[in-house]
Chains A and B, each alone.
Chain A
Amino acid sequence: MSERIPLTLITGFLGSGKTTLLGHLLRDPLLSDAVVLVNELGEVPLDHHLLRQIDEKTVILDSGCVCCTIRTDLVDELRDLQVRQYRGEIPAFRRVIVETTGLADPVPVLGTLLQDPLLAAHYMADGVVTTVDAINAPLQARRQPEWVKQVVVADRIVLTKTDLAGVDQPLVEALVRDRNPVAELLVADHGAISAAALIGLGVLAEDRRAEQVQAWLTAVEADPHDHDHAHDEHDHHAGVHAFALRFEEPLDWTMFGLWLAMLLQSHGEDILRVKGLLDTGAEGPLVLHGVQHVIHPPTHLAAWPDDDHASRIVLIVRNIARADVEQSLRTFDRLAKPAQPPKSEILA
């Protein structure tokens, strides 16, 4: 398969400065060969030779699951771009930037890239960038489920409007960190930020997968919050929390797949993200990456990134206790392994 074109998703709640940020990014030479797809041409003028407007058109499948919503507008546009590039009707492009509307759920965009065979062959998610309006974040965090979803799925979070009077930046950072301890937090200076900090993240790139998981583990372990609470007493983040699981013995992959499929069926709306390095008994680890119901095909690495060969899984969940998940996975994994003879028989 030829190299896939990285797609960066820029999302953020209404008025959080997505378009201002995009305007700054487009001045960077890094984006000179990018196609930019925006949902609405707003008041901020964008100047780019490959700027195209799309209207969010979705098809919701019978299950009613939001992750199964196919962004048909994106499918049509990305397919058309491939064809037109092939015909030489547009300049060759090497990356795609998609800006969502302020109320959009970013997960269907990620799902659409996997569900459409042509898109899956030609494009790959590069990362999700979420803008957070520092003035309105405290209110939006309490009242807007879209805000929470946009923050949780982010790989980079850009705080905007931090220079305005009345902003409690430490509070806003804590609100964001509570929901997503794994994304890098950046501050935009009047919308300006280095494109290199947001573009080319390669969250799914083969050669960076282990590094990404390790970054998650470091972030979760460094987070000072209690990670083992299923319900937040103050209801300030609706029970969203992150935790890491560790298994010293190899996990049975067949059973793990069965267990995770079952967990996603019963709690999928509350399993917000999952990333892990699994020891399945092979030479190198299996890398797992998922956003809600969208699980990317796992890949085997040839070797472990360091001397630690234990399975490590990071989950960001809502209203689910770490202890329950760990006990469940251990029980299922034990079921897949041959029963150990009693000690008396071993001694005999």
Chain B
Amino acid sequence: MCSLCGTLGAAAHWSEGGGDRTQVGARRDVLRERHRRVALLNRVLRSYTLSVDEWEETAYILHGPSGQAILCNDLTAVFAEVARLRGGVALDPLDPALLERL
């Protein structure tokens, strides 16, 4: 799956294929990882007045600063929508100001 568009839905997002489980399938592990991903994501997003919720084990809901709720298939879609909400400016993990805040 292209990691920039992320909305084609052809396969699970690459980021959901890792983890410390060697056998894919343990549903509770998948769920635990999804919720943990949301928690970590929110630690990054909070200084931008953005937040994310898990949605039905299949997607994420991105909440914008003006009350927007945007359904995103995966992490790539989340960051694409974050960039859209910020007028086309993507969140940059190399940004020293962001790293300082973290």
A residues at B contact (CB < 8 Å): 61, 63, 65, 67-68, 111, 114-117, 120, 253-268, 278, 280-284, 286, 290, 293-300, 302, 320, 324-325, 327-328, 331-332, 335-336
Q: Is the CB of A280 within 8 A of B2?
A: no
Q: Is the CB of A65 within 8 A of B4?
A: yes
Interface residues of B in 32-82 (CB under 8 A from A): 33, 36-37, 40-41, 43-44, 75-76, 78-80, 82
CB distance from B57 to the nearest CB of A (A): 15
Indicate whether A262 sits within 8 Å of B3 (C-beta atoms), given known contacts A255-B40, A257-B37, A324-B94.
no
| 28 contacting pairs across A/B (C-beta < 8 A) | A67-B2, A114-B11, A115-B2, A115-B8, A253-B20, A256-B18, A257-B16, A258-B15, A258-B40, A258-B41, A258-B44, A261-B3, A261-B15, A263-B93, A265-B4, A266-B79, A266-B83, A267-B94, A278-B18, A281-B20, A290-B3, A293-B4, A293-B5, A297-B17, A299-B17, A335-B40, A335-B43, A335-B44
Q: Is the CB of A325 within 8 A of B94?
A: yes
Question: Which of A111, A254, A266, A282 contacts B33, CB < 8 Å?
Answer: A254
Determine the distance from Cα of A115 to Cα of B76 in the docked complex, in whole angstroms.
Answer: 14
Nearest opposing residue in chain A for B23, CB measure = A300
Q: Count of A-B contacts with CB under 8 A?
A: 140
Q: Is the CB of A263 within 8 A of B94?
A: yes
Question: Which of B11, B12, B79, B94 contacts A320, CB < 8 Å?
Answer: B94
Determine the distance from Cα of A331 to Cα of B92 in the docked complex, in whole angstroms.
Answer: 13
Q: Is the CB of B102 within 8 A of A331?
A: yes
Q: Is the CB of A293 within 8 A of B19?
A: no
Determine the distance from Cα of A117 to Cα of B11 in the docked complex, in whole angstroms.
Answer: 7
Q: Is the CB of B99 within 8 A of A328?
A: yes
Question: Which of B3, B36, B44, B78 contacts A264, CB < 8 Å?
Answer: B3
Tell me which residues across on chain B come within 8 A of A263, comparing CB atoms: 93-94
Q: Is the CB of A257 within 8 A of B15?
A: yes
Tell me which residues across on chain A come within 8 A of B97, comparing CB atoms: none
Chain B interface, number of residues (Cβ within 8 angstroms): 39
**5 more CB-based (< 8 A) A-B contacts, given A63-B80, A68-B4:** A63-B5, A67-B3, A111-B2, A115-B8, A302-B22
Q: Is the CB of A257 within 8 A of B18?
A: yes
Q: Is the CB of A296 within 8 A of B5?
A: no
Majority SS of interface residues in chain A? helix
Nearest opposing residue in chain B for A334, CB measure = B102
* B31 interfacial by beta-carbon distance below 8 Å: no
Question: Which of B8, B14, B83 contacts A296, CB < 8 Å?
Answer: B14
B residues at A contact (CB < 8 Å): 1-5, 8, 10-12, 14-22, 33, 36-37, 40-41, 43-44, 75-76, 78-80, 82-83, 90-94, 99, 102
Nearest opposing residue in chain B for A261, CB measure = B75
Q: Is the CB of B92 within 8 A of A266?
A: yes
Tell me which residues across on chain A come within 8 A of B76, comparing CB atoms: 261, 264-265
Question: Which of B18, B36, B43, B78 contacts A298, CB < 8 Å?
Answer: B18
Tell me which residues across on chain B come within 8 A of A68, comparing CB atoms: 2, 4-5
CB distance from A337 to the nearest CB of B (A): 11
Q: Is the CB of B80 within 8 A of A297?
A: no
Tell me which residues across on chain B come within 8 A of A116, comparing CB atoms: 10
Tell me which residues across on chain A come within 8 A of B2, comparing CB atoms: 65, 67-68, 111, 114-115, 293-294
Determine the distance from Cα of A283 to Cα of B14 in the docked complex, in whole angstroms.
Answer: 20
Nearest opposing residue in chain B for A284, CB measure = B22
Tell me which residues across on chain B come within 8 A of A115, comparing CB atoms: 1-2, 8, 10
CB distance from A125 to the nearest CB of B (A): 14
Indicate whether A295 sits within 8 Å of B3 (C-beta atoms), given known contacts A257-B14, A260-B15, A280-B18.
yes
Determine the distance from Cα of A282 to Cα of B12 in the docked complex, in whole angstroms.
Answer: 21
Determine the distance from Cα of A15 to Cα of B16 in the docked complex, in whole angstroms.
Answer: 42
CB distance from B89 to the nearest CB of A (A): 9
Tell me which residues across on chain B come within 8 A of A262, comparing CB atoms: 44, 79, 90-93
Q: Is the CB of B80 within 8 A of A286?
A: no
Tell me which residues across on chain B come within 8 A of A256, comparing CB atoms: 18
Determine the distance from Cα of A283 to Cα of B22 in the docked complex, in whole angstroms.
Answer: 8
CB distance from A273 to the nearest CB of B (A): 13
